[in-house]
Amino acid sequence: MPATASKLVGPLTLQLLGGVITALLTLNIGSLSTLSANPLLAFAQEVAVCFLFPGLIISIAAAGNVHAFPLWLAATGNFIFYFVLIRIGIYLYRKLRATNRSAA
């Protein structure tokens, strides 16, 4: 029996993917902060930096210095933050779907 796409991409895969992508983008924040000449790409860079902000706040708070904070800690913070956020989103989606099925 062939595997379907929904069975291959489970909740844990989505959580890990979201966490790893944000962690890698955090480690690459230096090139994201230099905006492109293309307005669409520059907008995407600004949005990406906004998504990386929670990890930066965690790293700044732990280091106690806004001017010198470790990026590895920011990447770890973003990984954990988005791992948990995606888990909460999946839980709420399943709960809402179950509620809609029982109401129908």
Number of H helices, E strands in the chain: 6, 0
Say what the alpha-carbon torsion angle 21, 49, 78, 12 is, to the nearest 10 degrees: -30
The residues spanned by each domain of the chain are 5-103
pLDDT band at 37 (very low <50, low <70, confident <90, very high): very high
Give the residue-averaged pLDDT of 48-71: 94
Mean residue pLDDT across the chain: 90
Place of tokens 């709420």: 92
76-91 confidence digits (pLDDT tens): 999 999 999 999 999 9
Place of tokens 């902060």: 33
23 and 76 Cβ atoms separated by less than 8 Å: yes
